[in-house]
Amino acid sequence: MRVLILGGDGYLGWPTAMHLSRLGHDVHLVDNGLRRRAHRENETDSLTPIAESLSARARAWEEVDGRRMGVSMGDLCDHHVVERVLREFEPEVIVHYGEMPSAPYSMASRAHAAFTQYNNVIGTLNVLFAMRDLAPDAHLVKLGTMGEYGTPNIDIEEGFIEVRHKGRSDVLPFPKQPGSFYHASKVHDSVNIALACRIWDLRATDLNQGVVYGIHTEDTKRDERLLTRFDYDEVFGTALNRFCLQAVIGHPLTVYGKGGQTRGYLNIVDTIRCVELAATNPPAAGEYRVFNQFTEQFSVTELAELVARAGREYGLEVVVKGIDDPRVEAQEHYYNATHTKLLDLGLQPHFLSETLVESMFEAIQRYRDRVILDRILPRIRWRPREPLPASP
Ligand code: NAD
Ligand code: USQ
């Protein structure tokens, strides 16, 4: 298949590209370097030393594996870029990772919130219009997030719920209660994608993904130039990846608030497989479907305890420290999310075990002298203690 990967330079996009290329698909990547730029501005960096550009990665891949990938550098918010790529590459599948993925980033200021929503919503809108005009049969595989649903006090369904109301019933989108302006951007995307499928007969899969963890995939291990990024800073690092790094460098594991915040998690290896399964099992024209993409649920306290146990086994001195929650979120709540559709398509999950955590420790040890220590503790608050003056 001809697979276009938007956001192909990212944590998940790059290993997905290698995986699909190795399976024999014709892969083309688009990125505008936003993630690298945001790190430079924030004086943070990936723990793993990634190749200096997306083109350098593609060249390294060709040397190591023998297969070629196309690369276009450009912004999805520029509709000319999107149209040119669709016209020239004629994709059968469009895997869309190309968004600003950080909740804390989106909560840093009005400008950060506005940028996140513009970047994500307009980029996706451009993809939808370009598909309508240039690739109406292509399948959009879009990365959404479990955080679109929030933490309701009922079971979370896979995208839709049957509602009975005043004697009538319908199957409707599951209610959305995002917890950051980033998560809200994903909700807006979902509404736009569903509408485009309904009115233009496009086909799309919205992958409502949980929090991803892990450093390596089969391909990142083949050559250091093929490493994917691994972030641990307060803006781009996610819970388990941060906890593993904190354990290795002897920092207390930062459990926010009461620690009962429960989310779905999955290994990066499973992310890639889920995207492959979605891509190779397309929906019908006009169908908008939603898969909940995670393999296990944990509270942050459970995650921290698992990392602490594995760390002590490994010979590390690990301390878990509850700190003030910089976010506004439920810290103790009910959480039970359905996630059967990818299993039905053949996903065989890699569960989080202490052995897996130990293998993450080993990989982190290798690069520990690259850690930027003063970028770990959270400073961005959902409700700043001293609100900024109102914009003029
Ligand atoms: P990432 O930032 O590493 O990757 C996104 C890539 O898209 C980056 O390389 C960035 O430069 C590029 N990009 C962003 N905006 C762009 C634009 N306007 N034009 C062109 N390129 C653009 O993030 P990630 O962790 O790999 O996440 C990928 C996707 O998966 C995101 O949409 C994210 O919301 C979603 N997701 C991630 C996780 C996770 O835990 N990492 C969980 C659920 C969902
Ligand atoms: N948390 C801690 N300590 C930390 C970091 C996080 O207790 O040091 C807590 C947070 O308060 C939150 C939970 O862990 O309750 C998850 O936070 P996170 O930073 O790991 O994940 P989140 O902000 O939700 O965002 C990440 C990705 C995002 C994706 C989302 C999936 O950055 O792209 O959409 O996970 S989900 O959480 O299912 O919405």
341 is catalytic: no
Ligand 1 atom having least distance to the Cα of 34: 11
Give the total number of structural domains in the chain: 1
Asked, for residue 380, whether it belongs to a domain, the answer is no
Angle of helix 79-89 relative to helix 123-134, nearest 10 degrees, comes to: 40
pLDDT for 62 equals: 98
Task: Specify which residues 203 forms β-bridges with.
Answer: 139
pLDDT for 388 equals: 57
pLDDT for 385 equals: 79
Ligand 2 atom having least distance to the Cα of 186: 34
Owner of token pair 């397309």 = 282
pLDDT band at 98 (very low <50, low <70, confident <90, very high): very high
Q: Work out the mean pLDDT of the chain and round it to a whole number.
A: 97
pLDDT higher than threshold 90 for residue 311: yes
Q: What is the mean pLDDT of residues 145-155?
A: 98
26: containing domain = 2-375
pLDDT higher than threshold 90 for residue 179: yes
pLDDT higher than threshold 90 for residue 390: no
Q: Are residues 73 and 54 in contact, defined by beta-carbon separation less than 8 angstroms?
A: yes
Task: Specify which residues 73 forms β-bridges with.
Answer: 31
Q: Are strands 160-165 and 139-145 parallel, antiparallel or unpaired?
A: unpaired
Task: Specify which residues 212 forms β-bridges with.
Answer: 266
- 214 C-alpha vs ligand 1 centroid, how far in Å? 16
- 366 C-alpha vs ligand 1 centroid, how far in Å? 25
Task: Specify which residues 37 forms β-bridges with.
Answer: none
Q: What is the pLDDT of residues 30-72, one digit of tens each?
A: 999 999 999 999 999 999 999 999 999 999 999 999 999 999 9
Asked, for residue 388, whether it belongs to a domain, the answer is no
pLDDT band at 141 (very low <50, low <70, confident <90, very high): very high
pLDDT for 355 equals: 84
- CA–CA separation, 128 and 124 (whole Å): 6
Q: Which of 124, 186, 228, 254 is catalytic?
A: 186
User: Ligand 2, from 35, 263, 290: best to mutate by most atoms within 8 Å of Cβ?
Assistant: 263
Asked, for residue 124, whether it belongs to a domain, the answer is yes
Asked, for residue 385, whether it belongs to a domain, the answer is no
Nearest to 28 by CA among 100, 84, 104: 84
pLDDT higher than threshold 60 for residue 392: no
For 383, counting Cβ atoms within 10 Å of its Cβ (0-12 exposed, 13-18 middle, 19+ buried), the class is exposed
Q: What is the pLDDT of residues 324-382, one digit of tens each?
A: 999 999 999 999 999 999 999 999 999 999 888 999 999 999 999 999 999 999 999 99
Give me the long-range contacts of 191-194 (CB less than 8 A, separation at least 24). Answer: 192/121, 192/124, 192/125, 192/128, 193/124, 193/128, 193/140, 193/142, 193/288, 194/288
pLDDT for 56 equals: 98
pLDDT higher than threshold 90 for residue 198: yes
Any idea of the CA torsion for 121, 122, 128, 133, to the nearest 10 degrees? 170
Please tell me the residue having the least CA distance from ligand 2 atom 17.
239
- 182 C-alpha vs ligand 2 centroid, how far in Å? 11
- CA–CA separation, 7 and 10 (whole Å): 6
Ligand 1 proximity of 75 Cβ (cutoff 6 Å): yes
Residue with the bigger pLDDT between 50 and 391: it is 50
pLDDT higher than threshold 80 for residue 144: yes
- 380 C-alpha vs ligand 1 centroid, how far in Å? 20
Asked, for residue 132, whether it belongs to a domain, the answer is yes
pLDDT for 366 equals: 97
- CA–CA separation, 294 and 280 (whole Å): 19
pLDDT for 367 equals: 97
- CA–CA separation, 172 and 257 (whole Å): 34
pLDDT for 391 equals: 57
182 is catalytic: yes
pLDDT for 10 equals: 98
CATH number of the domain residue 28 falls in: 3.40.50.720
Q: Are residues 245 and 371 in contact, defined by beta-carbon separation less than 8 angstroms?
A: yes
pLDDT band at 4 (very low <50, low <70, confident <90, very high): very high
- CA–CA separation, 151 and 3 (whole Å): 34
Ligand 2 proximity of 339 Cβ (cutoff 6 Å): no
- CA–CA separation, 91 and 20 (whole Å): 14
Asked, for residue 386, whether it belongs to a domain, the answer is no
Ligand nearest to the CA of 303: 2
Q: What is the mean pLDDT of residues 253-281?
A: 98
Ligand 2 proximity of 27 Cβ (cutoff 6 Å): no
Asked, for residue 125, whether it belongs to a domain, the answer is yes
Q: What is the mean pLDDT of residues 113-141?
A: 99
Ligand 2 proximity of 102 Cβ (cutoff 6 Å): yes
pLDDT band at 389 (very low <50, low <70, confident <90, very high): low
pLDDT for 46 equals: 98
User: Ligand 2, from 142, 238, 268: best to mutate by most atoms within 8 Å of Cβ?
Assistant: 238
Asked, for residue 389, whether it belongs to a domain, the answer is no
Ligand 2 proximity of 144 Cβ (cutoff 6 Å): no
- 31 C-alpha vs ligand 1 centroid, how far in Å? 10
* Helical residues (DSSP H) of the chain, grouped into ranges: 13-22, 34-42, 54-65, 79-89, 103-106, 110-117, 123-134, 181-200, 239-249, 268-280, 300-314, 341-344, 354-366
pLDDT higher than threshold 70 for residue 383: yes
Ligand 1 proximity of 212 Cβ (cutoff 6 Å): yes
367 is catalytic: no
The 3-state DSSP composition of the chain as helix, strand, coil percent (nearest 5) reads 40, 20, 40
Q: What is the mean pLDDT of residues 96-104?
A: 98
Geometric angle at alpha carbon 42, from 41 and 46, rounded to 5°:
105
